[in-house]
Structure 1
Amino acid sequence: MKELFDGVVRFRDEDYADHRELFENLGDKQDPHTLFVGCSDSRVVPNLITRTMPGELFVVRNIANMVPPYRETSDYVATTSAVEYAVNILNVKNIIICGHSNCGGCSALYQSEESLANVPKVKKWLELASPVKKKAMEICGDDAGKREWVTEQVNIIQQVRNLLTYPYIKERVNKSELILYGWYYIIATGEVYNYNFDTGYFDLIGNEQ
């Protein structure tokens, strides 16, 4: 933990000092332009990937960057409530679903019941990705190597579709008040691919024609 405490001190003395005016302005309010839904994976760092400053992204992270389909419920729903707050209170203009390579959550879809016995809540959460697994299996069959990245990409597309089941999101998208994006981040190379809704393919960001 010492390195974390040391980091806090360096942040206060260096980063905060360099951006004091920004933090003072953020002290009473936030006005993020984008909701970023990413995986909880420690290798995925939204502000680092996007080179954004504090106050720009409203971030939701969970296993396999998933958004449950909209439903009326009285349960405690962390991701759903965060989406609702970002859109209806903060009025974000964009939502990014960002998946990534070597995703443990997507890989767990193909693990045995026994291997998930000690993580029942994770197992239950992954049920949300049942359509993803089915689609990936249809595309890849028994090709495990191909199945990994196909599952990760299909999962991104599915979560964007899930967002559109939220009435207030669909309404804003139809009015061009909100734009949805699907990103695929390759950890080992730093490349990020953006889903092209017209072609059905992921295009490398920065390499657009």
Structure 2
Amino acid sequence: MCEAAGDFMASRFKQEWGDGMGKWLRGVKREAVKGRDMPRRTGTGAGRAFITGGVKVEDREIMLPIRDATGGQHLSSKQLVPTTSSVSGALGRFSQAHQLWDAALGLITAILRYVRVDDEMFDDMLEVMVDVLHEPERRGLKEALETINADAVWLALYERGRVKGIKSRPRSVDGLGFEFVRVPGVVV
């Protein structure tokens, strides 16, 4: 839709951004990061089964129907014992929060590529998304941001330690007739 409508959508997105789209995007990012960074935890296999089954186990004991060798059935009380199995706290890339974050980044990429964006809105978008710009799969997002303001993108990445600075410094400036000199002990 952004590609087909182009700048016609600019005022609509500006309105939506001010009405809460920016806050929504920050919330989506927060949930995706929270899900990705959840620490691994240990749990009980039996406890998880009963939690997912909807039964709340208060005293860590459960009654199980058991058949004996003669075919008779009786109830047996079993103590739940914690296991040391480790389970992941999140589904990673397959979690709903991460999929929503990917979709939101796709939407923002389309907006940046095809719709005129105000400076304030651009700054907000950059602030929210700068943490993922170094990821190879976000190359399109980075290019879209750089098309609007490459200097702002570079500065935001530099401030977060994602850019080490200018790789090479010119030895001389054309037309001015002087050269840069290295001074021992001075870091430039």
- TM bin (shorter chain): under 0.3
TM-score (norm 1): 0.24
User: Which structure: greater helix fraction?
Assistant: 2
User: Which structure: greater strand fraction?
Assistant: 1
TM-score (norm 2): 0.26
Higher relative contact order (CA 8 A, sep 6+): 2
